[in-house]
Structure 1
C-alpha cells in the first residue's frame, strides 16, 4: 500500500524504489554499491545472506578478506573514468567474475560504482579440468606421433635399391603411410597410402594399412590380389561410410628389375625418373572404400634400369595452395625433377614450403626408391 500522505510523484518514486530493490534482491548474482571513498553503501539480499554480516559502511576490500585496497581497484577506475571494468576475485572458496559500472546522480555526475558478482567457480573448475585433460591428451598424441614415426621404413639400402623419404604431417598425427619390405629373396614390396582426414583416426588407419600389407605379402604376392585382400579386410572394420583410403602398391623383382604395380585410387601417381626423362606410372583403380563390396584391380609392369628412381608422393604435395588458391600441381613437380639432379627431396620440400600460403593444410610424404 502507498502512503496516503505522499504526493503522486513521491508515491511513484517510492514504488519504483521498492520495485528496483525487489529486482536486485531477487537476483542470483551479488550486487553492491561503493562510493568514492571505497565504502559500501548498498548490498543486495543474496550478498548479505552469503556473507552473513553487516556490510554497509565497511570498506569494499574487507569483504574479499583483504586488509588493504586491491592493487587493481575496478570501482575506483569506474568512478574516475566512467568505464565498465571487469576482473575476477576469489571470495572464500568461490571465484567470481566482477563487473563494475558507474552510478550517476541527477546531474549526471558519477558518485559511486555498482559491482555485480557472478559466481564462475564451476566454469573455472571445468576449465582447469579441461586444461589438465588436454595436457594428458597432448602427451598421448606426442607419444603416438613418436610411435608412428618409428614404424616408417629405415632409410638406406635394401639389397639393390636405396630408399629415402621426407614425411611431413600437417597436424600432430598423419594419415599418410608408406612402407618398403622384403617379400622373399627376389621381391621387395613398396607402397604409399593416404587415409582421408588427419589426426588420431587417420593415424590409427595407417596402422591398419601397415599391419595388413605386411600380413598379406606372403600369401598375395601379386599387387592386385594384395589390394583386393586389403579392401576385403577394410570392409570388416565396419567404419562410417566417409572413411576411405588410397594406395599405390608395387612389387619389385630384384633379379630382372621389373616393377609390377596396381593402384587403389591413389591420384598422386608415382614418377619414374630415368636417363631418358620422366614417366608417370599410369594405373587406374578404385579407392579402398565401403562403396564397393568387392573390387578387382589391374596390374601394370615397367622395366627398370640401374640408376632409375621412382618418386612416390601423396596429394599434399601437388595440392599445396598459394595465396590465390592455385594448386602447386603436377607440372611444377615435374619441372623440379627435371631441373634438380641432386638433393631432389629437399628441393621439393623447399618449393612446397615456399609455395604454401599460411599453414600447411594437408599431410605430405615423399618416398624415393633408387635402383642401384
Structure 2
C-alpha cells in the first residue's frame, strides 16, 4: 500500500513537470511549434494559437501561413537531415520573424520532430533600415563635403617665381588639414598650412573657418604676425570651448627680392628649408590659435631664398606615422629622407612612409612643397 502511494506520487511529479513545461511554453511571447517528420504541426503554444487559430495543430507547417507548397528554404528539413540548429528570417503578414529550428530526439537519439521558435524582429529590422538609409544620406553628404574640400585646395604649378606641389590625404573622408596659396599683390604671395585638432566633420568645418578668415586677412595685412594675430581675434569671436583649437604656419614671399617672412602659430611640424642640399628648420615661437589666450603676439623671422631652394611644409600625420612596434616615423627620418632624395621629394617621402607604416594612418597626411624657380 505504501509502495503504491509512493509510485502514485512519482507519477504525479512527472505529470506536474510536464504541466510546468507546457505552462512555460504557453507563457512565452515568442511563437513555438513542434513539427513531426512529415511536416505536420503536432503542438503550438498559446501565443501562436491566438495569432493563427487553434486549428493549426494537425495542419501542414506551411499551410498555416497561407502557402500552398513548402518553403523554398525549409529549415525543418535542414534540421531533420543534418541534426543541426537552423535559422532564417521570414515575412509573415506585415511582420518579420526570426525563426530557429532545433531537433527533438527520442531515447535512441533519433530525430522524430523539430521545435521552431518564431521571434518578432520587425521593430529591429525597421530600425536597421532607417539607420542604413540615414547612413547612406550621411555618406553622400560627406562625399559632397569631401569634394568641396578638395576643390578649394590651391592648384599645383607656378605662382610667379614659386612652383607649388603637394600631397593631401585625409585619414577619414574629411580632413582637419588646410593649406592655401594667396596672391596678396603683384610682389607678395602668402602661404600657410594649418592643422585642426582632431579630424572628421568637426575638424573639417574648422578648416573652412581658417580658409575664409585667411582669405580676408591676407589681403588686409602684409605682416605675417599681424595677420595671425587677427586670425586669433576672429577665432575668439566664435566662443568655442578650450578643446577646439588649431595650429598654423604662415609666411609671405616677396617675389621681387625673394625674401620669406614667416610666423609659427604653435605648428609643431616645423617646416624645412632645403638649400644647396642642406636641410635646416624654419623655427619661430608662437602659440596655437586657441581661446586660452585673449591676445597673442607672434615672432617674425625672415630668410633669403635663392633659385632651386625648397621649403617643405607638412602636418604631424607625417612624423607620427607608426610602424608595427608603435615607433614613430619622426623628424629625423623625415630629414634623412629629404637629404637622400634624388628625385621627386614628395613621392620620396610618401614611399618611405608607406614602407615604414604598419597600418592605416591615424591622422591626416599633408605635404606642401614650395620651390624657387
Q: Which residue of 2 aligns with 1:203?
A: 204
Instruction: Tell me how far 1:68 sits from its aligned partner.
Output: 2.3
How far, CA to CA, are the matches of 1:198 and 1:65 in structure 2? 54
Greater mean deviation of Cα atoms: 116-125 or 298-307? 298-307
Equivalent residues in 2 for 1:148-159 (5 A)?
A: 148-159=149-160
1:49 aligns with 2:50: yes
Q: Which residue of 1 aligns with 2:295?
A: 294
Q: Secondary structure at the match of 2:279?
A: strand
Taking structure 1 as the reference length, the TM-score comes to: 0.94
Q: Which residue of 2 aligns with 1:143?
A: 144
Instruction: Tell me how far 1:8 sits from its aligned partner.
Output: 1.4
Q: Residues 156-213 of structure 1: CA distance to partner in whole angstroms, max 9, x if unpaired? A: 1111111111111111111111000111222111000111111111111111000111
Q: Which residue of 2 aligns with 1:245?
A: 246
Q: Secondary structure at the match of 2:14?
A: helix
362 and 65 in structure 1: CA distance in 2 versus 1, 3 angstrom threshold: farther
1:168 aligns with 2:169: yes
Greater mean deviation of Cα atoms: 65-74 or 350-359? 65-74
Equivalent residues in 2 for 1:182-331 (5 A)?
A: 182-275=183-276, 277-331=278-332
How far, CA to CA, are the matches of 1:295 and 1:65 in structure 2? 77
Taking structure 2 as the reference length, the TM-score comes to: 0.94
How far, CA to CA, are the matches of 2:206 and 2:246 in structure 1? 9
How far, CA to CA, are the matches of 2:92 and 2:64 in structure 1? 8
Q: Is the 8 A contact 1:65 1:91 kept in 2?
A: no
Q: Which ranges in structure 2 are unaligned for 5 or more consecutive residues?
A: none
Q: Secondary structure at the match of 1:7?
A: helix
Q: Which ranges in structure 1 are unaligned for 5 or more consecutive residues?
A: none
Q: Secondary structure at the match of 1:206?
A: helix
Greater mean deviation of Cα atoms: 134-143 or 238-247? 238-247
Q: Which residue of 2 aligns with 1:94?
A: 95
How far, CA to CA, are the matches of 1:330 and 1:96 in structure 2? 58
How far, CA to CA, are the matches of 2:91 and 2:356 in structure 1? 51
RMSD of Structure 2 on Structure 1 (CA): 1.7
Instruction: Tell me how far 1:103 sits from its aligned partner.
Output: 2.0
Q: Which residue of 1 aligns with 2:62?
A: 61
Instruction: Tell me how far 1:18 sits from its aligned partner.
Output: 2.2
